[in-house]
Structure 1
Amino acid sequence: MMHARVTLLFIASCAIATGATAQNNTNLQGAATCPAAADVSNARLFGPWQAQVDAGPDIPPRQATLNLQRNPEFSESLSGTITRDTGTGQVAGDVDNGVFTLEESSDGKTITATWTGQIVEGSCGREIRGVWKNISDPTEHDFILRKQAGWQ
């Protein structure tokens, strides 16, 4: 009976150790596919993003959806749309060495706002934080962009 208990204890400890090793290997594989912020490419930013722009004290953040894709005119850059409850505009920009820049236009001709930020380290290019600036207003507003679920 004592040998059976020792054997069961040994088997259980091996199972726990094996599970921990498998979990650690999975974490290492995930880390290998997650680029450093400075290595995030424009292509990694393709897809839909949820935007949250700070509107000021005691005012809820403004929400928008960005949809980024390869710029058809400049293949190494981004273009796309921004959709708010007030309408849809166009955007164009890029990411270089972890620095994200985007220009926004409500009419497709004139730049109406700029986005300047940093890829958040450890986010695998799925979160960007920075400053949104309306061209006609000198104030700056903090923003957070988060890539929507289901996109790399």
Structure 2
Amino acid sequence: MRRLWLLAWAAAAGAASAQNVCPHASEVRQAEMLGLWHAEFEDAKLSGTLVLEKHATYADSLSGTIERGTVRRPVSGEVEDGEFTLEESADGVRISGTWLGEVVEGSCGREIRGTWSVDGEGKDARAFVLRKQ
């Protein structure tokens, strides 16, 4: 009986430790992206708060909002193979900004670095860092 208990305990401990393993950047999926993020731009005067949720229509995609000061805009995007793409909109229809970045290796999906640009055309491009709160 004691041996069965020890085997069950060892199996449970192994499963718990497997769940706590930090995923490789290319393994980060939607689930790790959900929640509150802090955005910092190369211009230290500009920062924001990003809230990411499951997209209502597209199962593996993200949606949410970016808030910079008093301005709040809707966003939608995805993470695939460690690459992060997010589009924001000033009017809820057209793309007004594009975030292109990569999950930082060793961050367990809690940090993304890349470039934000106006309309995705490289205008007013700024480096950004997103950190999960």
Other-structure match for 2:23: 35
User: Over alpha carbons, which structure has the higher Rg?
Assistant: 1
Paired residues, number: 116
Identity %: 45
Q: CA deviation at 1:137?
A: 6.7
Against the structure 1 CA distance between its residues 30 and 61, is the aligned structure 2 distance closer, same or farther, given a 3 Å change threshold?
farther
Paired with 1:37 and 1:66, the residues of 2 have a C-alpha distance of 20
Structure 1 runs (4+) deviating above 3 angstroms are: 29-32
Against the structure 1 CA distance between its residues 75 and 31, is the aligned structure 2 distance closer, same or farther, given a 3 Å change threshold?
closer
Q: How does 1:2-151 map to 2 (within 5 A)?
A: 29=17, 33-55=21-43, 60-135=44-119, 138-148=123-133
One-letter code aligned to 2:25? A
Q: CA deviation at 1:61?
A: 3.8
Structure with the higher strand share, 1 or 2: 2
TM-score (norm 1): 0.71
One-letter code aligned to 1:83? E
Paired with 2:55 and 2:83, the residues of 1 have a C-alpha distance of 18
CA RMSD of aligned residues (A): 1.8
SS at match of 2:75: strand
Other-structure match for 2:14: none
One-letter code aligned to 1:67? V
Against the structure 1 CA distance between its residues 62 and 98, is the aligned structure 2 distance closer, same or farther, given a 3 Å change threshold?
same
Paired with 1:129 and 1:33, the residues of 2 have a C-alpha distance of 22
Unaligned runs of 5+ in 1: 1-28
Unaligned runs of 5+ in 2: 1-16
